[in-house]
């Protein structure tokens, strides 16, 4: 390796998780973009963090943290999500790595992060993950690290810390692509649902109106769903047929 020499660094620490004895990789983090559907709108899960001591320094962000040395990236994403929001058992899909050198500046103001990195001037490369859940099934809860956890309509995402707005935007794009090619399932729907609910889901992800008859024709022809012997109850209009996923 002709190009490289070694330079002594006077103070160096290894970061360990004191409960579990895990060494942290100070250069690699994961960030999770969790999409939630409430049968009407598509939302994204955000956390609120106070950066530093000033009470004004409230910052919104995606749930994310550094990766441990002895876990896979996929694992890190699940663990971090659980730690920050108490959500578990969700399938998280990797969609992109973010790592332009400006990330260093974005992280500069975060004392807690600076303090536990070996090279504070170095950037953190982050691997973006996304998932879908039903908002009425799983209930995120803030941990000690995140002061607050909340849902926000994807059309109304506030200014986020770091480069998290970019990460959200990329995730939405990937989500639409995956949806177009039938790559995502129906984690976003209840077990029994009406075709109108299914159509609303499609419309909120694709962000456009679909024709009711054509939509029904398609999902029935492709056997995406099967009808149940059951109807909607307690609605103030004609009750709809309930369906479930095929297989």
Partner DNA sequence: AAACTTAGTGTACCTATTACACTAATTGCA
Partner DNA sequence: TGCAATTAGTGTAATAGGTACACTAAGTTT
Residue 182 as a binder of a second copy (CB under 8 A): the answer is no
- Check if the beta carbon of residue 32 is closer than 8 Å to that of residue 91: no
Tell me: does residue 194 bind DNA (CB under 7 A).
yes
81, 90, 127, 174: residue in contact with a second copy (rule CB under 8 A)? 127
Per CB under 8 A, 71 contacts a second copy: yes
The least distance separating DNA from the CB of residue 156, rounded to whole angstroms, comes to 23
Kindly indicate which of the ranges 6-14, 46-54, 142-150, 206-214 contains the residues binding DNA, using the contact rule CB under 7 A.
Answer: 206-214
Helix (H) or strand (E) holding 92: none
219 binds DNA (CB under 7 A): no
Stretch that binds DNA, among 8-16, 26-34, 75-83, 234-242 (CB under 7 A): 234-242
Selected binder of DNA within 151, 196, 219, 224 (CB under 7 A): 196
Q: Residues 16, 27, 123, 216: which binds DNA (CB under 7 A)?
A: 216
Q: Which of 148, 176, 183, 218 binds DNA (CB under 7 A)?
A: 218
Cα separations in angstroms, 247 against 191, 194, 225, 243: 12, 17, 9, 12
Ramachandran quadrant class, 113 (left: phi over 0; alpha: psi -120 to 50; beta: rest): alpha
Other Cβ atoms within 10 Å of 154 Cβ, number: 21
Rg (the chain; Cα; Å): 21
Q: Which is nearer to a second copy, 25 or 43 (CB)?
A: 25
Nearest to 44 by CA among 151, 171, 149: 151
């Amino acid at each position: 390796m002709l190009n490289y020499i070694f330079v002594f660094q006077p103070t160096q620490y290894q970061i360990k998780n004191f409960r579990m004895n895990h060494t942290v990789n100070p250069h690699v983090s994961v960030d999770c973009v969790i999409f939630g559907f409430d049968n009407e709108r598509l939302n994204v899960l955000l956390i609120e963090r106070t950066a530093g001591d000033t009470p004004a320094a409230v910052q919104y962000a995606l749930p994310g943290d550094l990766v441990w040395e002895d876990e896979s990236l996929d694992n890190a994403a699940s663990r971090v999500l659980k730690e920050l929001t108490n959500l578990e058992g969700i399938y998280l899909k990797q969609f992109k790595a973010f790592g332009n050198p400006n990330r260093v500046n974005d992280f500069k103001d975060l004392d807690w992060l600076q303090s536990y990195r070996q090279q504070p001037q170095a950037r953190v490369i982050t691997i973006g993950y996304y998932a879908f859940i039903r908002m009425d099934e799983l209930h995120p809860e803030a941990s000690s690290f995140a002061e607050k956890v909340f849902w926000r309509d994807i059309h109304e995402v506030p200014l986020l810390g770091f480069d998290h707005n970019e990460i959200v935007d990329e995730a939405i794009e990937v989500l639409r692509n995956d949806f177009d090619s039938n790559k995502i399932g129906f984690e976003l729907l209840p077990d029994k649902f009406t075709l109108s609910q299914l159509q609303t889901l499609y419309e909120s992800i694709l962000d456009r109106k679909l024709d009711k008859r054509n939509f029904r024709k398609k999902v029935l022809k492709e056997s995406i769903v099967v009808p149940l012997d059951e109807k909607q109850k307690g609605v103030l209009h004609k009750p709809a047929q309930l369906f479930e996923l095929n297989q």
